Chain A
């Protein structure tokens, strides 16, 4: 029996002026999947994430979350539907403490309490090895710690699916390995992921399914081995 579809894009299109950033994209992510989304710069990966998390309105096409239409929903409504994300350039509440950064999504959840949100935040901070920094302002964290905090903040939504936009960009190899282990652990707990990154080696270590985009369209979707042998991918992505 196949797992149910968590999020689905049907004919998703986005235009910026005369440029078609995403062109009729079909993509479905099932529960428990760990998908890598790769492609050259400007291929439409981040735009796709922005549409699938409510940060951009599509020009055409439909989005479904748990088979229910999610067209026109705001980013906060996607968050309530347990769709979480991180950003290509880390977006934190810089002048708020690490704990406060975690509490914002915790308390934005319906029926949440301070005690419960604080306990959950501390548990996640412990998991991310940031507990000792909870009173520090987020802007005083290192780049890597900021990436981890952003991941932690997304976890506070108890997301069923997490879109990670370039989680390995600008991090040292040790932290990169740490982030891979964290994602694998969270995936093992039943969360689904879509990971966008240019670090192909890390992506290959992490995922079983790869989706490749080029010029706003999906050009391949399959296992890592299938995609590696795909001639169109080699032409479009690697320039071979």
Chain B
């Protein structure tokens, strides 16, 4: 039984670590971007899936983190790690502010509010072209001066592992319990002594800071930042990734992002039709598997395992 779990796990770990040596440059780039999306989708799942705050402005924080780091590095000569960290901190602060302003909003109202925030930020990045480079983009110093994407892949993998580890630790702590209590019933959570305002704002700040972390990584990987990274289209993609995987589970959202990014690229030859397929998959997930396809898959495997297990018959 133990071997049945250890062997596939070890094989998967070897595959993940050897990935840059098993694929060509194109698929390695896809791998790096998939890791970026995985951090974003997991942090969105932390906010939407764990605390029930359906934000549509998460990619705005990705762009805020990316532009903050890019501008500090390019214009002020700040070292990349410092610029990157400043982006994370700024995202946490602005995230707390947005979380606080949106306290009285729920569901579609919060979603619309965060869409508006996202668009305002995007338009600022477009309009302030003397600072941000506008739609033409902002050139950003790369993290590594290598021809291969392998260092980015391993850094992305490490960031995902650390981010996911921190998020899982958080969800298993008392804060995580309070987040879920707020998601389930705010009034009851308050009656139970949970400081609802504090934890709603905290959830926004923490999730936004992870988005900023991913943004800094993205900016210094891609090398040129455009305001489109914070667009509603990009946000829709992240939401779809998390929902298809399973928005209430950090792991499911992560795997959902990795698989969806791979799927979108694998179907690239079908042009726009791949997005239609992607949309159909999202619709089917929402209709038939509200906890995500992975959760549905896990349940199916569990049922199959139970069905195949020999029945315990009394002698």
Write the residues of chain A forming the contact surface with B, with a CB cutoff of 8 angstroms: 53-55, 74-76, 79-80, 84-85, 87, 91-96, 100, 103-105, 107-109, 114, 153-154, 156-157
Contact = CB atoms under 8 A, between A and B. Distances in A.
Given A54-B190, A87-B188, A114-B174, A76 B195 contact: yes
| Interface size class of chain B, counting residues whose CB lies under 8 Å from the partner chain | 10 to 19
A90 B178 CA distance: 19
A91 B190 CA distance: 11
A156 B190 contact: no
Interface string B163-188: 00000000000100110110011011
A107 B175 CA distance: 9
28 contacts: A53-B191, A54-B190, A55-B191, A74-B195, A75-B190, A76-B190, A76-B191, A76-B192, A79-B193, A80-B193, A85-B191, A87-B191, A91-B191, A93-B185, A93-B188, A93-B189, A95-B184, A96-B181, A104-B178, A104-B189, A105-B194, A108-B174, A108-B178, A108-B192, A108-B193, A108-B195, A114-B174, A153-B188
Given A104-B177, A104-B178, A108-B178, A94 B185 contact: yes
A76 B193 CA distance: 4
A107 B172 CA distance: 13
Contacts of B184: 92-96
A103 B194 contact: no
B196 interface: yes
B190 A87 contact: no
A79 B192 contact: yes
Contacts of A87: 187-188, 191
Interface of B: 174, 177-178, 180-181, 184-185, 187-197
Contacts of A76: 190-196
Contacts of B187: 55, 75, 87, 91
A109 B188 contact: no
Contacts of B174: 107-108, 114
A153 B177 contact: no
Contacts of A107: 174, 177-178
Contact of B193 (A94, A96, A157): A157
Contacts of A114: 174
B190 A96 contact: no
A93 B180 contact: yes
A84 B190 CA distance: 11
Nearest to A53: B191
A64 B177 CA distance: 31
A43 to B, nearest CB: 22
B185 to A, nearest CB: 5
